[in-house]
Every structure is written in C-alpha cells, then in structure tokens.
Structure 1
C-alpha cells in the first residue's frame, strides 16, 4: 500500500522508474538542456556530487552517443557502475580530485560541469541555505580548475535572502548567469539551478583550492564584492503547462485502461544510511518488545515507588504487627 501511495503522489518519481532513470532528478537536467541547449557541442562533462547517478545517466546518453563523449562522475559515496562513465570517489574540495579529472580527459579541460549536490537539510532555512551556498562555491572552485574558457557550469542553489550575493560571485567568472526552475522541481521547494554560461575568469585569476574564490589577493579591478553586492539575475521556468505538475497527484489508472503495475527502483542504494535498520528488521531485532521474563530486574523493582512517609513511633506497633501476622492465612 505504501508503494502505491508513493507512486501516486509523485508522477516524476514514477516516470523515472518506468524510463529506467535512477532518480527523478534526471528530468531536471533534461528540462534544463531543452531550455538552454547545454549539451550542444559538449564532448567532455563532469558530474560533481553524482550519486546515485541520474545526471550521469543523462550525460552518458546525450554526450556518449556523439561518439567521442566522455563523462567523469565524482562523489564521496560509492556509486553503481554506468556505461561510458568514469567514476572518481573523492572530495571536490581537494586539488588531487581536480588533477584526477584532468588525467581522465588526457590533459584537456571539460566543456560542461554540473552539480546536483545538496547537504542533508535540517529544516532551519538559514543554515540550509548557507550550507548549500558553500557546496556550490566548492563546486565552482573545482570547476575553475577543469572548465575550459567559454564552458558551462550548472549547479543547484537554494533561493534565500542572500542568494543575490552568490549570483554576484558567479557573474565574476561567467558572462551569463540565470536562475532556472525546471518543471519537475516542486513549487514548494526553494531549490533552483544556476545556469552559468561563457566561462571567462578575470585576468590574473589563478585557481587555488586552498583560498576562497574572492578575496583581496586578486586584482582590485574586478574584486568589487565588498559587502552584499546586489545584481538582478533573470529567473526562467523550464517547461510549459503541457508538462506534468510535480506538486500534483495523478491517478494510477493508465490511459489505455490497463492496470497499473509497480516498478521497482532502477538502481537501489548501495550503502544507504538505513542499512543497519533493514538488517535488524530482517532479524526481528528492530524495536523488539522486552518481555518481563527477559528482564533480570524483578517486577517489584520496576514498580513506581511511593514517597516514603515519616515513620511514626508507637509502643503498640510491635504488638499490632504480631496480630497482623497471626491473622494472615
């Protein structure tokens, strides 16, 4: 019953399994490409924070089909293999990861760098927006090492109070920066995607992962972001009203009248955080009820103890106790 209700409430989740995508986020990249032609002329692409691999799937099919396409996927977590995709299990904040990417491209820079990574949200919007901004800057920092001039960079952002400062930082390195909201992204979500085209680093900029992207060690002619510099970035919605609405529930009845059949995930997680709980559940040890006979503590000890009243001394107390004992059966 739970599977059916989950399929019913999210049409893109259901379509992803039916079309063989590892996650519903594949439609986000497909819709971004339809709007901005991201894959046009791209032969080398990098997918940062790639697991579980839905964006790498899209890249391998769109770029790998051109004959000379090459895709490198980077993530801290292990990911199931994909045809035409080279996987690197590494940290995007380390210079060694950037060098390994370039080695797979035989010294050539990448045409496209994408990042769909996001931190584990806490529900505290200010904290979540800050963590997402830092993750985006880490992805941008490694993109400055591997992206060719004129290349494209696409990354997830959380639209918050200070997002315009992030746009300002991106505009320093790219000639065009837009904020895009794919149709498959829920309207209730604050996520969007920064589509940065025309990579053009300022003169004198030297990529360095050990330093922030913007500080006062660079030429002051282009480092003008003292304080919350504000710029207006166009906001684009990808898709039209003919597309599925990600916030709407659709019936499971198919158009041809056939009965709906549940489709399992294309690629289950390799090492999910709930793996230990699944193992305990199979063994019947998850939330196991503790029976009184299994507990070494006696039942008397487990009963709530009443407050001890002050003892009242009386000369008749011993005699009363003897009478009570003699009357007991």
Structure 2
C-alpha cells in the first residue's frame, strides 16, 4: 500500500503529535531557548502572529515552570488575526500587529507593566520567488518590531522569523538600532531545505529620545502626517522611494510608493 504524506513527516512532526504540541514549530522555540536562554527570568511575554498556538504553548509551559509555583506572576498575551483554541493561562487578542489599537490592547493587558519577551513566528504565504519572499518577510518582521517597541521593557528580548538572503545584513543593522546583541540562528528543528532562520535580539536598548510609533508606510499607505517621526532619534527612520508593485508586476511602473528603511549609524 502506498504511504501517505504523513508517513513521510520528520521526527519533530511525530514528536509534536506525541507530546501534544499544536505544531512542530514548538521545537524551534525550545531549541532557541536551549542556545540563548531566552526564558530565563521571564514572567511577562507576548506571542505575535500566534496561531495555531504552538509557541504560546511553549511560553505557558516554560514560564510557569520557571516561576517557582507562583503562576500569578506569569502573564502571556497572544496576538493574531484569527482566534485560536484557548489555552489555560493565555490571554488572546484578535488583532492586526500593524495597527496602533493592537499595541494599545497589549499595553492595557499589562496595565502599568511591560513585557520582557516578545516572539513572532509569523510568515506570509510564500511565492517561491526567494527575493520577494525575503522582502515581504522582512517587512513583517519590521511590523513586529514596531509593535514590540511599544510593549517591551528595557533589557528585554525579541525573537522573530526571517528568511535568509542577500539583504540580511541590512536587516541586522536595523535591529541593532534597538538591541545591543543581535544574532541569527537556525535551530536544528528547522528543515534544512527551508530558507527560514530566526533573529534573537537581546538587551532592548532604544536611543534615549526614541518615541515608539506604528508608522510603517509600506503596510499602511497613509502619508498625510509625518510629524510623529521627524524629531529626535526618530529621524533615523528615513523614507525613500521605490517603484513597482508585486501584483501585477510593474503595474505601477510610472508611479512611486514611499517605504521606510532604518539605517544604522554605528
């Protein structure tokens, strides 16, 4: 009898089923913790693009086990465009991570406190065209970074998926504006055939007068008010012009669209 596709799944797929994880991606976060100790001392965390919830499961299990039985100190917020099956000890927010109201909803959940860890395993639907996939994934990561600057405590950690490519060094320089230690890692549970990797950004340390903003013209095409990014450290966020569009190709050949880049002056 011909084997089904499930019979060809790897060891982490089978382990996820045996151990009750919602997806094999749970092992990626576990392996990143083994390498970078990202859960150490953490009691407040945010999971962006959380569905189906495997990373949220890891956070609930690990943070509660590290809290010396005082689970009342642990607060974990999961954010996604779609609702997930509930998890004990997890607060869910259905929202768009590119919207300011989502950042405000997370802040309300933490009341007067801030998160110590923000993770994001989100990814767009891939096209198979690596340059395009890498670019769109980088923009998703920067959107996650935008909302992270609203909710992450100084000294905190940010972990997010990237697609490896020729522009990774630019992405690193953008992240180094906010974190003193930035590493790229590919956990052993990530398939060798995949171009994915993960940035592990530790010791959140934004410039002294930086003001968190949800301004992201690539994802939100509203250019009427630039006042919020023209003062102090926010001047490092520099607008530039790019022509062309992905759907259909070159449909905007004679038009210009503003997007944002952050450049490191280290």
Q: Do they superpose with TM above 0.5?
A: yes
* Range that drifts further, 12-21 or 93-102: 93-102
Q: Summarize deviations over 1:71-101 as a string: whole Å, max 9, x none.
A: 1000001210011100001010111111111
Q: CA RMSD in A?
A: 2.5
* Range that drifts further, 146-155 or 94-103: 94-103
Give the TM-score of the pair, scaled to structure 1. Answer: 0.65
Aligned to 1:36: 36
Aligned to 1:217: 230
Unaligned runs of 5+ in 1: 232-329
Q: 1:224 to 1:83 in 2, by over 3 A?
A: closer
Unaligned runs of 5+ in 2: 219-227, 241-260
Give the TM-score of the pair, scaled to structure 2. Answer: 0.80
Q: Return the offset for 1:161.
A: 1.3
SS at match of 2:209: coil
Question: Does the aligned pair in 2 maintain the 1:164–1:229 contact within 8 Å?
Answer: no
Aligned to 2:146: 141
Q: What is the aligned counterpart of 1:109 among 81, 92, 114?
A: 114
Q: Return the offset for 1:102.
A: 1.4
Aligned pairs (5 A) from 1:44-83? 44-65=44-65, 66=67, 67=71, 68-83=73-88
Aligned pairs (5 A) from 1:84-233? 84-211=89-216, 217-219=230-232, 223=236
**Structure of higher RCO (CA pairs closer than 8 Å, 6+ residues apart):** 1
Are residue 11 (structure 1) and residue 16 (structure 2) matched? no
- Distance in 1 (CA, whole Å) between partners of 2:262 and 2:234 is 18
Q: 1:175 to 1:4 in 2, by over 3 A?
A: same
- Distance in 2 (CA, whole Å) between partners of 1:146 and 1:166 is 21
Aligned to 2:255: none
Q: Summarize deviations over 1:166-196 as a string: whole Å, max 9, x none.
A: 1100000000000011000011111000000
Specify the structure having the higher radius of gyration (Cα): 1
SS at match of 1:63: helix
SS at match of 1:172: coil
Question: Does the aligned pair in 1 maintain the 2:176–2:264 contact within 8 Å?
Answer: no
Q: Summarize deviations over 1:183-224 as a string: whole Å, max 9, x none.
A: 0001111100000000001122101113569x9725479839
Q: Summarize deviations over 1:24-80 as a string: whole Å, max 9, x none.
A: 000000000011111111010000000000000000001123222111000001210
Question: Does the aligned pair in 1 maintain the 2:23–2:54 contact within 8 Å?
Answer: yes
Q: Which runs of 4+ in 1 moved over 4 A?
A: 1-5, 224-231
- Distance in 2 (CA, whole Å) between partners of 1:143 and 1:16 is 28
Equivalenced residues, count: 230
SS at match of 1:50: coil
Q: 1:228 to 1:148 in 2, by over 3 A?
A: closer
Question: Does the aligned pair in 1 maintain the 2:209–2:233 contact within 8 Å?
Answer: no
Question: Does the aligned pair in 2 maintain the 1:92–1:139 contact within 8 Å?
Answer: yes
More strand as a share of residues: 2
SS at match of 1:62: helix
- Distance in 2 (CA, whole Å) between partners of 1:224 and 1:72 is 28
Q: Summarize deviations over 1:261-301 as a string: whole Å, max 9, x none.
A: xxxxxxxxxxxxxxxxxxxxxxxxxxxxxxxxxxxxxxxxx
Are residue 24 (structure 1) and residue 39 (structure 2) matched? no
* Range that drifts further, 4-13 or 48-57: 4-13
